[in-house]
Structure 1
Amino acid sequence: MKILDFAEHYINNYKRYKEKWNYEDGCIFKGALDLYKATQDKKYFQFVLDHINEAITEEGSILKYEVEEFNIDNINCGKVLFDLYEATGDGKYVKAIHKLYEQLKRHPRTEEGNYWHKKIYPNQVWLDGLYMAMPFYAKYEKEFKGTNAYEDIYKQLKVVRERMFDDEKSLYYHGYDESRKERWSNPETGLSPNFWSRSMGWLLMAFVDILEILDRETSQWTEIRDMFEEAVAGVLKYQDVESSMWYQVIDKPEEEGNYLETSGTLMIAYGILKGVRLGCLPDCYRVFGEKAFEGTIKKYLDIEKKELGGICGVAGLGNMPYRDGSYAYYISEPILPNDHKGVGALFMAYGEVLKLTSDN
């Protein structure tokens, strides 16, 4: 119940991450809906409804959203619109869903068919973007068009597996530049230099949320499930024995300055726990997700201060000031309490804890 006390305080004192449509708010809204589904407490649903209604007009226009930015992050906040439409029947949510899908129809792609992360990052694929877009894409296709795009979704994930997975480490690199023009990219492979825990979290959440949506009898579901289980098995090699968390730079726990990071750990925990609940992972994996969740709460959640600590504020590749993907870069980004990415992941992961407990 202490976690729900924190959640209630957080939504009662909520401030938007930006005064425009953004993925960070989307993390909180998705997490709040997960808590609603797990608890049936309507305050979580009402919180999402109120804030989304501030951002969407009756005509389905979205607050300060520009399709021409071709920013894949902007798709993330649209995931909750499906639930709101199902619950209310209000057509403005469908109109907004269609506007976001228009972006995906026109979004630039690499030569191999993957969505660019952003227009300002040409030819680049980041693990983050898979979570931002693919579950929305899968849900849209299932609700409005059938299963024609399942193969496109699978192919994009398969390219990421082929280009970004390291067989020796059993981890995925954060980014890939097909053009090899970015300074951070390896001139031979196009890969960024390191393995970032939150990017692995984004990936596992993408996998499991897609698996929840896709029809299980399809070949694509089976192939994606296999990639998901492989990725989970890989990340478990690096779970800290004492805390059950994961480090910011996931494979370098002994390096100076590295730290146990909250958002990546909770995203991974969510992926594992939901994977077990959906039957995408064997039951024996459950303990790893539960220990990761409990370890994070023990280390970083201060109930009295209403504060969740240990969250990397942001990490990316390129742009200015230039982010080179080095180890030194990842540990240099500010650690921010109560950042939306970490709190959203907390809500999502706790929703899975509650659902698994209730199922048993």
Structure 2
Amino acid sequence: MDMKSYFHPNESIAGKAKSDKHILATIAGRFIGANPKHPPIYRIYSDEGFRRGADYRYEMDLALRWPELEDGQFVYVWGKLWCDGEIEHPFSVSCFSPVSIMVNGTQQFASNLNDDVFPDRSSYFRAKLSKGWNHIVLEFVKTATGCGGKFGTGSIKGFPMHILAPTADRDGQEGWVYSSPQSAAWEIMPGAEEERGASAAVAEWYPQMKWTPQELNAGCFNRIYGEQQGKIAYAWTKLENRNPSVQTVRMIGEYQGQLTVYLNGAPVYEKHQQHSAGPLDVTLPIPFGVHDLIVRSACAGAAWGFSLEIEHVSGESAGPVRRIQPYPVEGLRDGWLYAGPFSADNAPLPSAITRMDAVFGSEGERTFWRADLPGAWVRPYLENAVYGKWNYPLGVTLYGILRTGLELEDPHYTNYAADHIEQCTSLHAYSVWDQAQYGSPGVNHQLTLIDSLDDCGSFGAAMLEANKLRALAGAEAAAERIAHYISREQSRLEEGTLYRTRGTTDFMKDTVWCDDLYMSTPFLSKYYELTGDLAYLNDAAKQFLQYKKLMFIPEQGIMHHVYDFKFGKGNGVPWGRGNGWVLFSLTELLAVMPAEHSERPALLAFFSELCQGYRRLQGIQGLWHQVLTDPESYAEASCTSMFIYAFARGVRFGWLEEAALYVEAVLKGWDGLSRYAIDKHGNVYGVCRGSGYSFNRLYYKDQLSWQLNDTHGIGIVLLAGIEAMKLRKHVSTLGGLESR
């Protein structure tokens, strides 16, 4: 395939950029501009709603919700899902009884006789979602088998969706609403353009998040936590003064129990134990800006809580002082967050409670923020398409951006990559707690629910690289978890070879993939750097030698993509990126391996054999092909980048003989990328999408298409450019090996 077909030659960055650094800055800048640094969204979640399991599907057992439900009656479940653009979304459903699923008023799924009697089976379908809000309604019919089902994403790793409540009283909150039992089917679904019939047919939606009058009179802490003699709880809000001068604020209300008020961590008002309602009257000077207001209370009886409202503001000139949310939480109505209850010796300090990334308390009392509604908790949800997400393609993307910042000596890039990674690591401990509490976390789902090397090794390696530049909150704990998974939990063959006994699809069962060298050995190499424990380095070295036995094609000097034990052979297809992962990862290992390591000579020999095989297959335009041995398959940017990266390092570190041949291959390859695969806006073309595997090379050639700006390729293109620059500098100095 002619790479010129990706775009007109005049659109190439090669004709626009003044230097390789300019190219790197353009690619990295485009990516950063397209994926701004937005934090997770915090939402109110009702623990009286439907729980998501570890498979990220909602468990909707309506027979449990309505024990008096009669055969033939209907129950409706309604939620909404936002989409940034039109997409085909994968869904999965398991049926406890007949179910019909409507998306934006159109039926997209109806169970059949088989579905209705096999509740453990999953049915998959895809539905078109529109830009904006999409309303999803499930119609369940009660039969003798039950009523309900499990429904949610059809792609746990790719689209771990969460649903938002569609009713006005729960606006911004996570979760579905469900109807009371209905004697007849609705003709018009809620959320349809003409909302009548169905909306009018049901008086109320459930769960109802309303306190009874008795609960409202019991005090905020009592209705949230119950009577907890001697226990401590906190309430948090903020005061904002928009007037440049100091304003004197009087706040009045009532309290029960022992109470202390803190402003910005310092106590400003205290009341001793109060068994009945007592007056609360606080006068405070409030400077310009936003200030934390904390109320700490100890339970002294059945009534436990407080009320606090601004009554009067005065100062040099009248100005607005208002109470605002302590942190943006969608669905929060009254502007207070609550944490507790804690035993007196376990309660966090008031100065340590004003954060949204940590669980509070010790074992037995660990908790997070709640709202003053029945069963209402605060939870973070990642709603960005890219920023803050943890997955393996983003691992190599962020590694490339991080290294770009170092090469350009520009902290804009290094900070972006490190901040993305730290958004994940800082929430690691929370997400583990969240998963145990609710079934599936709203952030860090792949790290928290690790079940494959894809989930941890790539991003973990980038994390350790970023952690060298600055200590990232939670990084070392996350690294320890990843190391334990790779070393102790990941399936292995008898001799220790990393191995897939299962996968997201049946064909992955009993296979070894080239990809998994990248998903494991760079992390193991960097974890060895962090800990000094040779066991991790030795494990990485062993993987390369074992994979060579299974997958190396000696007559060509390249690798099968997959070895399938179901057939006892390699699949016979040298997929470009799979081979690229091998060579890239081997350089990461060799770069940290001590010169005296016993396996180093064998690994250097393997590296040389692979480089010779790959160099012979470079295309006339400097790029390598999707199927390495098929010049009719498309020229592929990510494997090209990895070969450039490895060749350049091989020359710089003295691992390769006939260095001139590899210098030429690197420069030819980088020129080809910049001319044919990168346009003037920094868009990267020709990167193969995420793959399955096949014994049919036409799958790779014709079905496994390329995608624009795929995250499998952006970072490695940057790394290739950096290594091409380093190689030019190395050769021009003629001063021997450049120190690492």
Scaled to the shorter chain, the TM-score interval is: 0.7 to 0.9
Task: Indicate whether 1:123 and 2:519 are aligned.
Answer: no
CA distance in 1, matches of 2:570, 2:582: 16
Kindly indicate which of the two structures has a greater share of residues assigned to strand.
Answer: 2
SS in 1 for 2:563: strand
Amino acid at match of 2:420: H
SS in 2 for 1:307: coil
CA contact (8 A) 1:71 1:119 kept: no
CA distance in 2, matches of 1:239, 1:41: 33
Amino acid at match of 1:312: C
User: Which residue is equivalent to 1:314?
Assistant: 690
Task: Indicate whether 1:345 and 2:716 are aligned.
Answer: yes
SS in 2 for 1:176: strand
Amino acid at match of 1:235: Y
What is the deviation of 1:279?
2.2
What is the deviation of 1:68?
5.5
User: Which residue is equivalent to 2:610?
Assistant: 231
Structural mapping, 1:315-330, within 5 Å: 315-317=691-693, 324-330=694-700
What is the deviation of 1:16?
4.5
Query: Superposition RMSD on alpha carbons, in Å?
Result: 2.1
What is the deviation of 1:150?
3.2
Displacement over 6 Å in runs of 4+: none
CA contact (8 A) 1:127 1:199 kept: yes
CA distance in 1, matches of 2:430, 2:618: 43
CA contact (8 A) 1:38 1:354 kept: no
Q: Deviations over 1:253-274 (max 9, x none)?
A: 24xxx11111111111111112
CA contact (8 A) 1:67 1:103 kept: no
CA contact (8 A) 1:309 1:337 kept: yes
Out of 190, 201, 220, the residue aligned to residue 569 of structure 2 is 190
CA distance in 2, matches of 1:218, 1:165: 23
SS in 2 for 1:223: helix
CA contact (8 A) 2:387 2:420 kept: no
CA contact (8 A) 2:399 2:465 kept: no
Count of aligned residue pairs for this structure pair: 341
CA distance in 1, matches of 2:724, 2:385: 26
Q: Go from structure 1 to structure 2 and tell me whether the alpha carbon gap of 1:6 and 1:150 turns closer, same or farther (over 3 Å shift).
A: closer
User: Which residue is equivalent to 2:484?
Assistant: 102
Out of 473, 477, 496, the residue aligned to residue 113 of structure 1 is 496
Q: Deviations over 1:283-310 (max 9, x none)?
A: 3212212211211221121114x32111
Amino acid at match of 2:393: E
Task: Indicate whether 1:174 and 2:543 are aligned.
Answer: no
Structural mapping, 1:12-23, within 5 Å: 12-14=33-35, 16-17=385-386, 20-23=389-392
Amino acid at match of 1:166: I
SS in 1 for 2:639: helix
User: Which residue is equivalent to 2:631?
Assistant: 253
Q: Go from structure 1 to structure 2 and tell me whether the alpha carbon gap of 1:3 and 1:142 turns closer, same or farther (over 3 Å shift).
A: closer
What is the deviation of 1:117?
4.3
CA distance in 1, matches of 2:29, 2:405: 12
Q: Go from structure 1 to structure 2 and tell me whether the alpha carbon gap of 1:47 and 1:307 turns closer, same or farther (over 3 Å shift).
A: same
Amino acid at match of 1:198: R
Amino acid at match of 1:296: L
CA distance in 1, matches of 2:501, 2:414: 31
CA contact (8 A) 1:69 1:118 kept: no
What is the deviation of 1:17?
4.6
What is the deviation of 1:132?
1.5
CA contact (8 A) 1:79 1:136 kept: yes
Out of 456, 465, 470, the residue aligned to residue 88 of structure 1 is 470
User: Which residue is equivalent to 1:211?
Assistant: 590
CA distance in 1, matches of 2:385, 2:605: 37
SS in 2 for 1:199: helix
User: Which residue is equivalent to 1:7?
Assistant: 28
User: Which residue is equivalent to 1:296?
Assistant: 673
CA contact (8 A) 1:25 1:340 kept: yes
CA distance in 2, matches of 1:270, 1:16: 28
User: Which residue is equivalent to 1:72?
Assistant: 453
CA contact (8 A) 1:72 1:133 kept: yes
Amino acid at match of 2:686: G
CA contact (8 A) 1:117 1:129 kept: no
CA distance in 1, matches of 2:512, 2:413: 33
Q: Go from structure 1 to structure 2 and tell me whether the alpha carbon gap of 1:190 and 1:357 turns closer, same or farther (over 3 Å shift).
A: same
SS in 2 for 1:219: coil
SS in 1 for 2:673: helix
Compute the TM-score of the two structures, normalised by the length of structure 1: 0.88
Amino acid at match of 1:298: R
CA contact (8 A) 1:70 1:119 kept: no
